[in-house]
Amino acid sequence: MVVPRLGRSVGHLLDRLCRHSGLLAQPLSGATARRGQASGRPGSNPGAPPGSYSALRAQAAREPAAFWGPLARDTLVWDTPFHTVWDCDFSSGKIGWFLGGQLNVSVNCLDQHVQKSPESVALIWEQDEPGTEVRITYRELLETTCRLANTLKRHEVHRGDRVAIYMPVSPLAVAAMLACARIGAIHTVVFAGFSAESLAGRINDAKCKVVITVNQGLRGGRVLELKKIVDEAVKLCPTVRCVLVAHRTDKKVSMGKLDVVLEQEMAKENPECAPESMNSEDMLFLLYTSGSTGTPKGLVHTQAGYLLYAALTHKLVFDYKPGDVFGCVADIGWITGHSYVVYGPLCNGATSVLFESTPVYPDAGRYWETVQRLQISQFYCAPTAVRLLLKYGDAWVKKYDLSSLRTLGSVGEPINHEAWEWLHKVVGDSRCTLVDTWWQTETGGICIAPRPSEEGAEIVPCMAMRPFYGIVPVIMDDKGSVMEGNGISGALCFSQAWPGMARTIYGNHARFLDAYFTAYPGYYFSGDGVYRTQSGYYQITGRVDDVINISGHRVGTAEIEDAMATHPSVPEAAVIGIPHDIKGEAAFAFIVLKDDVANSDVVEKELKSTVATKIAKYAVPDQILVVKRLPKTRSGKVMRRLLRKIVTSSSQDLGDTTTLEDPSVITEILNAYEKYKQPKC
């Protein structure tokens, strides 16, 4: 193991890059599969001052190897230097960064900081009960990680094995992720709100050997029976050999033959564990997310590129500075938690807040009381929480001193004007920078955000605005042609690879190619629509596929439909997303019932419970409408577009309905919907 070199600040590196006016000699062998000059790509921009956002952006697009190579070399701690910066080709879905290099992600997130400043605080665990926060230093986190890594090894977890983590946000959950990274195992964190069936599906797809969980979780004053859910799940999972159970509460839970008390095991282990040297492109983690088909996909992120991208975006988008307390309130079960609670902040040696509670526990001032007490500098949250909180009024914010805040961020779904203005004016006192950040599980880190930018550049409300370095957006029309110029909207694609992007779907590269590289050959297709304003900024317009976003949680309409179709009385179901005041979107289901169903209310209740059991509570449709038939094209495809129009549009114009097999279905559904809307007495 090479002794870690202490990383120099990325700001310094960017300065250095710029002093060479973007014309750094390329020290390493460059790209092996370059693409031609794509539209929307920043050109050489000769007028841009060195070091400016535009100069750096142009360089990252023009010479990825010269941009990313030195950054990767100097930011990360390597065991073996890489020989090739990138080797990517979107036509074949080949994505590789920093080839030949070896490193360990946990060394980058822990050891390098322990060497320099062991007692600096890595994590502040903001527990469910306010005022009971726990601080964990880098030294302590390294020790815990090593004990957990040794425990995993003792339970026969080897390099390349998969480990499922089903835990609430906690230092032990972070240590579990880093312990996997330390020994070269691949973690898959499953959000602790998913049902036993969803958990089992993920464990089976990844063929996990071990599951790490807790006896119970605590959230918003409520107890979550996580161990019970794991018990139910592992019954369906033949690959699981052991369940490591940590204790969040004093409650004793029943322990079966696979179960082991994690704390006891860790206490027996050595607090040191030699890190595995991993190849840059070895898998670091899988994270399951929804697509347009019924089965969630396990996106694969790899070691070096992901870590560099998470660290760099964390620093530059949020203006993170040493000494700041970084507060991202996302759950570690989502990509936001991976990149901006764990990997990005820890790689930068930051103090990262782990938020276990909810925005309204014990009251609507919880976030702001936490900001004041922990002196949080950056606060990163989801628009759905902001929409909820603003309804409680400004007094809950004004009660607290929020002067420690410098940057506010929003993520996960479009932020509406009211929420943006409230966050900016009331929470940020009109003095904080507010960044609406667009990205995805697939992108690994933030791709479009108002910062970085030219010094003091404007921020337009509710807009992600500017591509990050190395991100080259391209807008496509319906026919798959690149749209030029400004004031246009279409499908959001990217023409060039960046280090943080996912490499494949676990066990199914064909699906990866199909989902992201087939609709627009040679480009990565995000699934979102976008508008490029007259000023050249990017504004996300929402998903263009059958994925909906409920409270910032992504779910495929097909997933909900598949769950509903398991009900014996429901031969068919079609689900659409409809606007919702707080959640952003809610699911609306159209169902067809078998003729012999006597009481549709009972079936509806059962359907809601089925969706909660098969997926998660958040995916349960708010509304269910019984119809005789679904509107189908002559080829048998359900026209969800038509259903959306019926529910969300006041106009009579339902668009082109000529492909419908039987147009009389429209009147049928319209009548059913009118009746449904009438108040029930």
Binding site for ligand PRX (CB under 6 A): 289, 335-336, 411-414, 436-441, 464, 526-528, 540, 543, 549, 554
Q: Which residue is nearest to ligand PRX (CB)?
A: 441
| CB of 84 or CB of 440, closer to ligand PRX | 440
CA distances to 376, 378, 502 from 372, in Å? 7, 12, 36
| CB of 14 or CB of 390, closer to ligand PRX | 390
| CB of 99 or CB of 415, closer to ligand PRX | 415
Closest approach of ligand PRX to the CB of residue 149, in Å: 28
Residues 6+ apart with CB under 8 A from 425: none
Closest approach of ligand PRX to the CB of residue 107, in Å: 26
Q: Going by DSSP bridges, is the β-strand pair 482-483/572-580 parallel, antiparallel, or unpaired?
A: unpaired
Q: Going by DSSP bridges, is the β-strand pair 217-219/222-224 parallel, antiparallel, or unpaired?
A: antiparallel
CA distances to 44, 151, 163, 211, 533 from 180, in Å? 42, 11, 8, 12, 44
Question: By the 8 A CB rule, do 68 and 85 touch?
Answer: yes
On the question of a cis peptide bond just before residue 621, with omega within 30 degrees of 0, the verdict is no
| CB of 437 or CB of 495, closer to ligand PRX | 437
Reported residue count of the chain is 681
Residue 45's region, left for phi above 0, alpha for psi from -120 to 50, else beta, is: left
Report d(CA 575, CA 558) in Å as an integer: 7
Per DSSP (E only), the strands in 290-357 are: 297-302, 325-328, 351-355
- Could you report how far apart the first and last alpha carbons of the chain are, in Å? 73
| CB of 466 or CB of 632, closer to ligand PRX | 466
Closest approach of ligand PRX to the CB of residue 308, in Å: 18
Report d(CA 227, CA 336) in Å as an integer: 24
| CB of 195 or CB of 437, closer to ligand PRX | 437
| CB of 103 or CB of 335, closer to ligand PRX | 335
| CB of 280 or CB of 549, closer to ligand PRX | 549
| CB of 82 or CB of 524, closer to ligand PRX | 524
Closest approach of ligand PRX to the CB of residue 438, in Å: 4
Closest approach of ligand PRX to the CB of residue 267, in Å: 36
Task: List beta partners, residue 651.
Answer: none
Closest approach of ligand PRX to the CB of residue 360, in Å: 21
Closest approach of ligand PRX to the CB of residue 170, in Å: 21
Closest approach of ligand PRX to the CB of residue 223, in Å: 27
Question: 305: closest CA among 498, 94, 74, 494?
Answer: 498
Report d(CA 39, CA 572) in Å as an integer: 43
In 3-state terms, what secondary structure has residue 645? helix
Identity (one letter) of the amino acid at 88? C
| CB of 301 or CB of 554, closer to ligand PRX | 554
Closest approach of ligand PRX to the CB of residue 118, in Å: 32
Closest approach of ligand PRX to the CB of residue 264, in Å: 36
Report d(CA 591, CA 358) in Å as an integer: 33
Report d(CA 491, CA 277) in Å as an integer: 40
